[in-house]
Structure 1
Amino acid sequence: MSPSETVPLHSPTPLQRLAEAHRVGATFQGWDGSLQQVRPETLVAVLAALGVAADTPEAVDASLAEAEDAPWRSLLPPVVVVRASAVEPVPLSIPAGADVEVWVDAEDGLRYTGSVDGGPAGFRTLDGIPIERVNATLPHSLPLGWHTLHARAGERTASCTLVVTPDRLSRTTALLNSRNWGLMAQLYSVRSSTSWGIGDLADLGQLAGVAAEQGAGFVLVNPLHAAEPQPPVEPSPYLPTTRRFFHPMYLRIEAIPEYARLDAESRRTVDGLAAGFQAANTTTDLLDRDASFAAKLTALELIFAVERPAQRQSDFEDYCAGQGQGLDDFALWSALAETLEPGSPEWEDAGRPGSPAARRARERLAARVEFHEWLQWLCDEQLQEAQLEATDAGMEIGIVHDLAVGVHPSGADAWALRDVLAQGISVGAPPDMFNQHGQDWSQPPWHPERLAESGYTAFRDMLRNILRHAGGIRVDHILGLFRLWWIPAGAAPGGGAYVYYDHEALIGILALEAERAGALVVGEDLGVFEPGVQEYLAERGIFGTSILWFEQTGSGPRPPEEYRRACLTTVTTHDLPPSAGYLVGEHVVLRESLGLLSRPVEEERAADSAVQESFLAMLRERGLLPRGEASVQETVEALHAFIAQSPSALLGVALADAVGERRTQNQPGTSNEYPNWRIPLADAGGRAVLLDDLAENQRFLSLVRALHRPAALGESSGISGGPGGS
């Protein structure tokens, strides 16, 4: 079965046929392997979100006829995405017998001519006009990039976006010839003595330097996407207001050049604000984003008022020009959101982007719009500096950014990109072994048809901005580029349906933008997925993800030698407790206390213990753990030595594991029931861990040594550059 196919139906109903015509799965395979049929009312609601009427039998019949005619009504497809070495024919719908011309205007200014080969591939009469289908052949010498495809058939003309993507990421081939390990960190939780109570971009550069000294090739951080423009802000980095722009909360105030140009009174004010967070850097109480961000905004307002030198002003203007309308829309949303509640009647009066009302608001709020554009420029500068610090310290990859699945339903992207997002729908996941009630992530999904009609511009611009100063990108739930679980408004998480996307286009564009940035791509390909997905991603040069505890076969734990090479392999993930907590079953206790278990806690605890023991037994057999009692630290290090025996080219070490933290950062399926994303980094004794001390943290250094522990039977672990190496 290909990644885009659903389970076939025998004698499908008209409603089910309509759903399949719009790539909505009428069936799906549950996590237990059983075949599930989607309820008719769910199909009707999902189709409505796609703009397809299906609420009556007559509407279904009319929509089916429209779906069958649609490809014949347009001279060209809405967009064409091809691989560089496999440029497939492009179907054209032309008036019968018309002469046809096809050409490409490439982004480098050159023109390439195509041709139409062979006779008609089909006929249909629409509105009394005979239409025939022909195939246009594009030249095979097209360069990678974003081009424009043109066609003329008689008196009809049309054009569309043509994207030529790499067959396979070239960065991947180079990385597969060696091994890199790296730290995985929740940046907001990683503080230094000079932080403002929250980890920032200067801390990121410092963390990269410390890790590089021990031979690390990368640092993977949580999504740094922007949240609300002022407190209170959403704590989850996976529910941002936008995925294209960054959170000014992460700015290091003292690193802004204009900070040094503050007048004496303003300088005292800013330094006083910073001093007020010294105690917050060393507490292990819950993080207070709102207090830190509010203080930083006060400081930023003062620095914004400082006159910039001519070159700095020119750089700022160049940045704004390069970001274009997308930055302007985001900054306008931010300015509006400072005084209006998104979704309120007053907000609606502000209009949509580009409307007369929005233009009037833009003029009225020009100073605030400039302020928010300036904040993004500063983020861009400090992100560049963090990546340079990483690579200058010897990292082969550097900073790897995380891309969230979606955005807040009332955020900037939901406002500015409304035309390419589905309404009345949120995305999530059906029930699975670890989230037995399913998940609703409260995020509007891309509308697959409208996104294609737009030429995938918003998707491209988002990727391009994240990759500007990055060594790589991790795509959370990359399976969402194949299909997403759509949940109609008001429905339970399990009451959804899969909507399928053109993965060839989305993955191709992801590969193209990463290729241009010289970056690697890691896809989180965990959970329920269809046969062929992982193989397809590997073919395109995209690394997969392996979590030790999830690597199980029917007969027990998977031996590390059987792990994938093109993979980021880790012991844990941010959706599980750190390993020290996981080993003592804290995830079971927490889920039971929150009512997230679907079976008695005794059964859950026994099953979890059995799984853990099966892994630990394999570690003992390999001489990585003693036969007798072992401490939690010894066990955590043995687990990392175990994954180091795999052929995986990328190994990830959670910073929480490296210092002995036990507390869970995130419990899926909860929001306010648990303080997700608010846990500061601490050690096994409950003491705050500062970046200043990490280089000499003995637990951290010991875990790094465990990664280089000789494998069983005297084999090498295969990790290049041990502690102190490169």
Structure 2
Amino acid sequence: MSTTTPQTADAPDEALVRLAEAHGVATDFWDFTGAHRAVPAATIRAVLHALGVSAETDDAVAHALADVDDEPWRSALPASLVLRTGSSHELQVHVPDGTPVSVQVRTEDGWRFDLPQLDVWVDPRTVDGVRMGCATFRIPGDLPLGWHEVIAEVGGPDPRTERCALAVTPDRLPEPQLATGRGWGFMAQLYSVRSRSSWGVGDLADLAELTSLFGELGADFLLINPLHAAEPVGHMTPSPYLPVSRRFVNPLYVRPEDIRETAYLSGPQRALVEWAADEVRPAADDPGPIDRDAAWSAKRQALEVIYAAPRSRARQRALDAFRKEQGAGLEDFALWCALTEKYENSEWPDALQDVGSPAVFRARRELADRIDFYVWLQWVADDQLARAQAVAREAGMGLGVMHDLAVGVHPSGADAWSMRSIFAQGMGVGAPPDMYNQQGQNWSQPPWRPDALARTGYAPLRDMARTVLRHAGALRIDHILGLFRLWWIPDGASAADGTYVRYDHEAMVGVLLLEAHRAGAVVIGEDLGTVEPWVRGYLTERGVLGTSVLWFEKDEDGRPILPQEYRRLVLATVNTHDLPPTAGYLAEEHVDLRERLGLLTEPVPKVRLEARRERERMLERLEEQHLLPADPTERQIVEALHAYVVRTPSVLVGVSLTDAVGERRAQNQPGTDQEYPNWKLPLADGAERAVLVEDLPGSARLLSLVAAIRSELGEADRLA
């Protein structure tokens, strides 16, 4: 039964509510308990301010409301257009009343044609003292997919040309093209899966080995954690979900020995590389927290040596081509890295805070060699990513590497610096309280401004997706609801004192689909949590797969839903990286951990009783499906849970590598920072012994789980 919270003294008035709604800012919402909650006026004003809208006084609100209606008439063309293929569009062009105007489309391959003007009457409007008219043109529905441009030639006494980006996107992505129509694969935190040859942290050479092994076992994909860039010097943020850039790669994952120039180093140079590796390789057998800083310090020493070695003309040409292709975004990222290195132990001068300042221009020249180094790092990482994906496909994987895209970026990182105008200042992104995080979450990431994205023609989203998808068969988007709305939290406020801000999901999803289509990749959206009912239907309509996690799929009585009740177009899994591995979850270690860390807002006995009831109900379901023997072992229960998921109609099934080796420790505990070693634990078995890449082919537990999955898949195919 839903309830409504009472109005407070800080409740927004009608005018503020209308202004907020006009800018996509929610003034109320339904929480996870079903209660209807009003957003305080102070939160609404802070969010509007971050969107560049003044709402501090009643007069400011009234002025801003009038501006909402006038703003579209101030430009001939909209900020940008994102359309679906096959659908025509009526484009309104605003010019001084009576002024002649013609409109063309220029496609990305250079083809130009005039748009026909329609006989549509729109009443003129006086804006800023000028009487403005509106001419309507038709954009045809048969434009090719791609990034095009609309050009308006405005005549009259003050002739001018205006332009806006036009993206024509797929109406729908096709379903995964797999031999049997369904596919399964592994999920792993790459940094945690080390080999005896890696440098204290799992890397791209290990990724290639994993895809080779898993492909041989019949897997179609390997989903890995985001490989986004982290700090180049100083302390490296452990969380792969708080990167300095979502577009570029963390060179921590580069394997130095696999860079071609390493083979041609002189003896002394080669010794420097080996000595650096010797500093961190022994850590592979240590089940304790991974030391990224030590691994990167050693690896960086070696990479500096290799970078200084000469490259052949062909290799240099390949590097130059990569640099040209990645363009200004790569140059800005490399410059940020060079500046971060230069000012490692001090504050940046104020003049360097603006990427377009004269001081930054001078820094590009002064730090040219260091910029070259950081560009080179991205190139060698890209080369090793390409190799990993090639190995995956050669091993028979239907999709290969499935990358993960984080929600946002570090507030002091490269993206936030180089694209400052795109980000809302004074805001963080997070989530309101829910049953698993009852205090809410603040991920400390600045959100993109919806209006700024439109003004850039969604170039930041396009460029990021294009780069991440270069060597991928699939892309998982963490918290895909962020393409629809994000929970904005004003700086200094608690996670519970935020509100939702809406985005143009039609444009955001369309841009991602266009880039995925061009890469031939599948898109999976992590659509867990509080989801408006229509959102999942919309994503399914566009061919974006959803996400189903066994422990979260329950009916109204709290019982696990039956396998046949799962959605078909999803990636279905038993667990997620924000929960302990299945062995730990069955043992209620998620309750123990949250109690120990003081994260529970309900009495511990109540939470523990609910966890026990959840486990019992799940075991009952497994028994109903005849998946459990009498007195099952932990391993047999884990296998039965995975068989249960395989019995669903879901087109993709994911298996956590931690479940396959018996690991019990959670990789991440939401709501914590220093209290728990988030994103630092290496892969280990149930006795906390390190499990290396070399150990996996002979792992009896892993092979048994794979056999159970393949047997169930074969039975499902037979019955189908």
TM superposition score category, shorter chain reference: over 0.9
Selected match of 1:521 from 505, 514, 523: 523
Give distance in 1, aligned partners of 2:574 and 2:145: 37
Per-residue CA shift, 1:205-258, capped at 9, x if unaligned? 100011011100000000000100123100000000000100000000110011
The 1:127–1:359 alpha-carbon spacing in structure 2 relative to 1, beyond 3 Å, is: closer
Q: Would you say 1:717 and 2:716 are equivalent positions?
A: yes
Matches for 1:416-431 after TM superposition, within 5 Å: 416-431=418-433
The answer to whether the 8 Å contact 1:340/1:347 transfers is no
Supply the distance in 1 between the matched residues of 2:32 and 2:117 (Cα, whole angstroms).
Answer: 46
Higher RCO (C-alpha 8 Å, min separation 6)? 1
| 1:613 equivalent in structure 2 | 616
**Which whole-Å CA distance do the structure 2 matches of 1:287 and 1:11 have between them?**
48
Distance (whole Å) between structure 2 residues aligned to residue 91 and residue 530 of structure 1: 31
| Partner secondary structure for residue 326 of structure 1 | helix
**Once the 2 structures are TM-superposed, how far is the Cα of residue 174 of structure 1 from its aligned partner?**
3.1
Q: Which amino acid aligns with 1:304?
A: Y
**1:578-611 CA distances to partner (integer Å, 9 max, x unpaired)?**
0000000000111111111110111000011111
Q: Does 1:179 align with 2:178?
A: no
The one-letter code matched in structure 1 to 2:127 is L
Q: TM-score, length-normalised on structure 2?
A: 0.96
Kindly report which structure 2 residues correspond to 1:391-470, keeping only aligned pairs within 5 A, or say none: 391-470=393-472
| Structure 2 CA distance for aligned equivalents of residues 146 and 300 of structure 1 | 37
Q: Distance in 2 between matches of 1:109 and 1:301?
A: 42
Amino acid at match of 1:296: K
- Once the two structures are superposed, residues 530-579 of structure 1 have per-residue CA deviations (whole angstroms, 9 ceiling, x without a partner) of 12101111111111000000001103211111111111000000000000
Measured in 2, the distance between the counterparts of 1:577 and 1:708 equals 24
Per-residue displacement from partner, 1:504-551 (whole Å, max 9, x unpaired)? 000000000000000010000010121210111111111100000000
Please give the alpha-carbon distance, in whole angstroms, between the structure 2 residues aligned to 1:288 and 1:699. Answer: 28
Whichever residue aligns with residue 233 of structure 1, its letter is: M
Matching of residue 163 in structure 1 with residue 167 in structure 2: yes
- Provide the TM-score with structure 1 as the length reference: 0.95
Following the alignment from structure 1 to structure 2, what is the Cα–Cα distance between the partners of residues 399 and 438? 32
| Structure 1 residue matching 2:508: 3-state secondary structure | helix
Between the aligned partners of 1:85 and 1:476, the Cα distance in structure 2 is 29
Q: In the TM superposition, what is the alpha-carbon distance from 1:119 to its structure 2 partner?
A: 2.0
**Correspondence for 1:144:** 145
Q: Distance in 2 between matches of 1:348 and 1:395?
A: 50
Give 1:267 shift.
0.9
CA offset digits 1:701-724 (Å, max 9, x no partner): 11111113348xxx922399xxxx
For structure 1, which runs of at least 5 residues remain unmatched after alignment?
1-9, 721-726
Asked if structure 2 preserves the Cα contact closer than 8 Å seen for 1:179 and 1:719, the reply is no
Q: Is the 8 A contact 1:149 1:160 kept in 2?
A: yes
Of 607-616 and 477-486, deviating more is 607-616
Give 2:633's match in structure 1, choosing from 616, 631, 634: 631
- The amino acid that maps onto 2:110 is G
1:463-509 deviation digits (Å, cap 9, x = unpaired): 10000111111000000000000000000001001000000000000
Q: State the aligned residue count.
A: 705
1:615 deviation in Å? 1.4
CA, structure 1 residues 348+718, in 2 after alignment: closer, same or farther (shift >3 Å)?
farther
Q: Which residue of 2 aligns with 1:332?
A: 335
Question: Structure 2 counterpart of 1:707, which letter?
Answer: I
Matches of 2:712 and 2:305 in 1, distance apart? 55
Which residue number corresponds to residue 499 of structure 2? 497
Describe how 1:240-389 pairs up with structure 2 within 5 A: 240-340=243-343, 345-389=347-391
Residue pair 1:75, 1:93 contacting (<8 A) in 2 also = yes
> Which whole-Å CA distance do the structure 2 matches of 1:333 and 1:677 have between them?
25
Distance 1:118 1:585 in 2: 68
* Partner Cα distance (2:568, 2:124) in 1: 48
Q: Post-superposition shift, 1:11?
A: 11
* Superposition RMSD in Å: 1.7
Report what 1:120 is aligned to. Answer: 121
State the SS of the aligned residue for 1:463.
helix
Secondary structure in structure 2 of the residue aligned to 1:266: helix
Deviations 1:628-649 (A, max 9, x none): 4221111100000000000001
Contact 1:428/1:442 (8 A) holds in 2: yes
State the distance in 2 between where 1:276 and 1:99 align: 72
Aligned residue number for residue 108 of structure 2? 107
Secondary structure of 1:618's aligned partner: helix
Assess if the C-alpha contact under 8 Å between 2:439 and 2:496 holds in 1.
Answer: yes
Aligned equivalent of 2:510: 508
Please state whether the residue corresponding to 2:94 is helix, strand or coil.
strand
CA distance, structure 2, for counterparts of residue 261 and residue 624 of structure 1: 56
Which runs of structure 2 are paired with 1:54-93 in the superposition (5 Å)? 54-93=55-94
Q: Deviations over 1:683-715 (max 9, x none)?
A: 12221111112112110011111113348xxx9
CA contact (8 A) 2:184 2:654 kept: yes
Cα gap change, 1:373/1:701 in structure 2, threshold over 3 Å: closer, same or farther?
A: same
- Comparing 554-563 and 133-142, the one that deviates more: 133-142
1:221 correspondence with 2:224: yes
Residue 103 of structure 2 aligns to a residue in which SS? strand
Q: Which moved more, 1:700-709 or 1:504-513?
A: 700-709
Please list the CA deviations of residues 90-129 of structure 1 after superposition, one character each: whole Å capped at 9, or x if unmatched. Answer: 2222333343322100001111321221322343112332
CA distance in 2, matches of 1:407, 1:562: 36
Q: For residues 43 and 298 of structure 1, what CA distance do their matches in structure 2 show?
A: 49
Identity %: 52
Partner of 1:551 in structure 2?
553
SS at 1:162 equivalent: strand
Tell me the distance in 2 between the aligned counterparts of 1:413 and 1:255. 29
Hey, what does 2:4 align to over in structure 1? Answer: none
DSSP 3-state at the match of 1:336? helix
Distance (Å, rounded) in 1 between the aligned partners of 2:36 and 2:121: 40
Query: Structure 1 residues 707, 581: closer, same or farther in 2, change over 3 A?
Result: same
Q: 1:45 matched to which residue of 2? A: 46
- Is contact 2:233-2:344 (8 Å) kept? no
Question: Does structure 1 residue 658 correspond to structure 2 residue 657?
Answer: no
1:231·1:293 contact (CA, 8 Å) conserved in 2? no
- Cα pair 1:191 1:199 within 8 Å, conserved: yes
Residues 307-364 of structure 1, C-alpha deviation per residue, up to 9 Å, x if partnerless? 111111111111111111111100010011013259x653423242232100111111
Secondary structure of the corresponding residue to residue 533 of structure 2: coil
Q: Distance in 1 between matches of 2:443 and 2:473?
A: 28
Offset, 1:153: 4.2
d(CA) in 1 for partners of 2:348, 2:205:
39
Cα separation, 2, equivalents of 1:69 and 1:246 = 43
Which amino acid counterpart does residue 635 of structure 1 have in structure 2? I
Contact 1:120 1:132 (8 Å CA) reproduced = no
Letter in 1 for 2:166: L
Question: What secondary structure is seen at the aligned counterpart in 1 of 2:615?
Answer: helix
CA separation of 1:609 and 1:256: change in aligned 2, threshold 3 A: same
State the distance in 1 between where 2:321 and 2:712 align: 52
Partner SS state of residue 511, structure 1: helix
Matched, 1:700 2:699: no
Tell me the equivalent position of 2:195.
192
**Corresponding position of 2:580:** 577
Query: Within the alignment, does 1:667 sit opposite 2:665 as a pair?
Result: no
Q: 4+ runs of 1 displaced by more than 4 Å? A: none
- For 2:113 and 2:607, the matched residues in 1 are separated by 62
